[in-house]
Chains A and B, each alone.
Chain A
């Protein structure tokens, strides 16, 4: 297929096909991985990357096709087979036990549990040697719970190496990292290559794919649509291949910011579990402007989102909406104040899975608009749902369909319709396009931009820096509950924002604020 020869591939996937009912998740996917090579598996969410890896790891059985590792055929449907054959996987969501130490997590499953005792000394020595060799700095005796996200990822990689993995598969490894941590990860990966390992790098971030891979495979709708040597391609071509068309960022006219509709002044909130609360945050959301909030996940985004949603009340500091100090605060107050809230998790928070579309569209307004003296007006509710389905182009079988049957994009369109229909003054969009396909992404962004132009104050929270930089008129960075000062669109490079995301910009600023 390509110019890269692979006479003795370490990993060969041949003609893999997997169907779920009428949906084809993978169709006749074939590729080889050579020794010392980095393949980037590029594709949008839902392109079939994860399914493919689950087949490799025996979680799913392919309908057709075979997997060969170091020349040996893997038995299908056996999760241990790939591990034993020397393939290690670093999942996007870590699989670590928080109350155990680093070395315990690493040997867990690698040593028989019924042995009289775990051989700690030898294990720790091996871990130290590996972390030295691969520049994966981590203390074997530290508890996982005390580690940062970047450190936990190192533990995951060590776990694979400890089991003598010769092939590493990394699923969206940079999604949770700061730019600096990403650089460190890449250094580790280059070391691994020099030591003869091979890597499959799953991502949808083009600049990382360009930086680390030798070869790029593009998956679209389950099919391998293109294969390029990284040197022969560029980001523009790859993004076009990935989505099947040139991406068109929304053409944003310059904003005409108005009055501040929501302001936080020296405001703090309680922490949520291990995630920090806001710490002395200052923020002003202005009418007719999109404010972007960049940051690595788990740095206080949830606290800010919960505050504006009405789920959390401030611990200290000033909270004003349209110039009035907020005294009583609840989700219902927030809705009453004209705040449209697009929650981070549309399945758990945004919708009720077994409710139909009608019921889901009126969740926030049933008491004020669709009932009288306690009696529901279902006819009106259904008519409303039908009009939303029409206006927001929600693809579904009708208002009586249960919302769990909708795709993520259509679910999000319905939520957009639910909250935008009431002409909100303030819009909170928390990760509004996570997991959506490119069509839905452009739709959601277009709607947010239109709302901005109509005079709404929009807060866009996202972990995707590209999204933030493309859409925001002003940007704040959040790190460990602290908000950076406001940066105007176009004045900051990603690397500069990365410094703030890592928490390094705040020194000296805390006192100034």
Chain B
């Protein structure tokens, strides 16, 4: 058995295979649900209801999708330029730390000004965090997979230190958490009375901006060229190093917005459990989206729905919510396989 490249995969092939990947994911999940003692239809149905079945459930899903859109965009932008940013988790926390520093009373400004400054500062922090590995890569050839991955642990320990020390809430009864944000530093809800904050809208806008940059600007053209074939790009006069650094700034900044939006929009203070691995799940989101900025929104909603729905299903039926993790992993593997089969045909001989 061997793989034969397909020169020009048809549109039908490119659309059917990812769809089949989702179907395969659902089938495998059903099987596992059965093994766990649940009725697969009931389990899947309950996941759907849990994710979309009520206004509350739907808003919960959208809230959960918000940080995933940001980290998914961050990863997609970087991966398209073949900059392997595994450090979105640290960049997210960098953004969150900046919000916790600026938003707890250090700056007294009207809400729009304060929020803008916080968002920009958060982006700069995240961008800086990825700039260091990017410089190490372009200057010294240090593998950014290693540096960005290890940065996650270093930075999380740093946040832990901050929460036990300088940023510790004096009124926090000893818990490692920051002080609460002042009201001006909170992202308002989109509609009064509904638990959905402006972070979601900003995430959608960010996705559209990234899409426009990608398709319509010279920077987008350069990033794609460098990602597809750096040697040809360099030969054609595209400043490859500069493009990689710009990509790093954009990617780090986007990931930091996830931290900004979670603290300022949802939580109101910084804790160590702010992110249950949004930075890593962002990789799954970006891959499921085939690195397309608008696809990231869809993929983030899909992933968020599985998580939110599985929690609710677990409460209702008793099948463990770990099913969500398995579904996600299965979806990723099926999608990777689908991508492979889009480009190659299996030949037996």
Contact = CB atoms under 8 A, between A and B. Distances in A.
Interface in B306-349: 349
B216 A349 contact: no
Contacts of A315: none
Contact of A363 (B7, B8, B216, B232): B232
5 contacts: A352-B228, A353-B228, A359-B225, A366-B218, A404-B7
Contacts of A77: 349
A343 B228 contact: no
Name which of B217, B219, B232, B236 has the most chain A CB atoms within 10 A of its CB.
B236
A359 B235 contact: no
Contacts, number: 68
A364 B234 contact: no
Interface footprint category on B:
20 to 34
Interface in A342-364: 343, 348-355, 359, 363-364
A353 B218 contact: no
Ranked 3 nearest A-B pairs via Cβ:
A332-B237, A363-B236, A331-B237
B291 to A, nearest CB: 13
A371 B220 CA distance: 12
B229 A331 contact: no
Given A363-B225, A363-B232, 12 more contacts: A310-B237, A331-B235, A332-B237, A341-B235, A348-B231, A352-B233, A353-B229, A366-B221, A371-B218, A374-B217, A374-B219, A378-B216
Contacts of A402: 8
Contact of B235 (A350, A366, A374, A405): A350
B238 interface: yes
A376 interface: yes
Contact of A354 (B218, B228, B234): B228
Given A311-B234, A350-B232, A375 B225 contact: no
Interface residues of A, number: 33
A156 B239 CA distance: 42
B237 A374 contact: no
User: Main secondary structure on chain A at its contact with chain B?
Assistant: mixed
A147 interface: no
Given A375-B217, A376-B218, A376-B221, A352 B349 contact: no
A61 interface: yes
B218 A348 contact: no
B201 to A, nearest CB: 25
Nearest to A404: B7
A193 interface: no
A352 B232 contact: yes
A372 to B, nearest CB: 9
Contacts of B231: 348-349
B218 A343 contact: no
Interface in A304-337: 309-311, 330-332, 334-335
B329 to A, nearest CB: 28
Contacts of A309: 235
Nearest to B226: A352
B216 A375 contact: yes
Contacts of A311: 234-235
A359 B221 contact: yes
Interface string A55-90: 000000100000000000000010000000000000
A367 interface: yes
Contacts of B349: 61, 77
Contacts of A341: 235
A306 to B, nearest CB: 9
Given A310-B237, A349-B235, A405 B8 contact: yes
Contacts of A332: 237, 239
Contacts of A330: 237
Contacts of B235: 309, 311, 331, 341, 343, 349-350
Interface in B218-256: 218-221, 224-225, 228-229, 231-239
A67 to B, nearest CB: 16
A309 B236 CA distance: 9
